[in-house]
Amino acid sequence: MAKTMQRGKALFPLGRIVSTRGALSIANEAGVDLLHMVSRHVQGDWSEMDGHDKQANRDAIAFGNRVFSAYTVNDRKFWVITEADRASTTILLPEEY
């Protein structure tokens, strides 16, 4: 995993960044940079989300709800979820939810 995230405007606090064992294992095997996904997530790059979900994330930022992103890297889907209280952001595989 990369040591730093891309610099850009963070739209909300991430809290503590954690990963499930499954996501970390798959990322390590496939050479996936999890922090790059987190960087995209916090900067509002939700390119794989549909219009309804993108709007839900904008509303979540404005009103303090959970922010959810999904990214596909090397044919594997990863989810990034920042909790409503902004205490933590979790990277996980969909099957781990």
Whole-angstrom distance, CA of residue 32 vs CA of residue 56: 27
pLDDT at residue 8 in the model = 81
pLDDT at residue 72 in the model = 95
Whole-angstrom distance, CA of residue 77 vs CA of residue 12: 23
Question: What are the two backbone dihedrals, phi and then psi, of residue 90, each rounded to the nearest 5 degrees?
Answer: -115, 135
Q: How confident is the model at residue 54 (pLDDT cuts 50, 70, 90)?
A: very high
pLDDT at residue 56 in the model = 98
Q: How confident is the model at residue 82 (pLDDT cuts 50, 70, 90)?
A: very high
Q: What 3-state class would DSSP assign to 26? A: helix
Average pLDDT, the chain: 93
Q: How confident is the model at residue 7 (pLDDT cuts 50, 70, 90)?
A: low
Whole-angstrom distance, CA of residue 85 vs CA of residue 95: 24
**pLDDT of 70-80, one tens digit each?**
999 989 999 99
Whole-angstrom distance, CA of residue 18 vs CA of residue 60: 20
* Mean pLDDT value across residues 8-30: 96
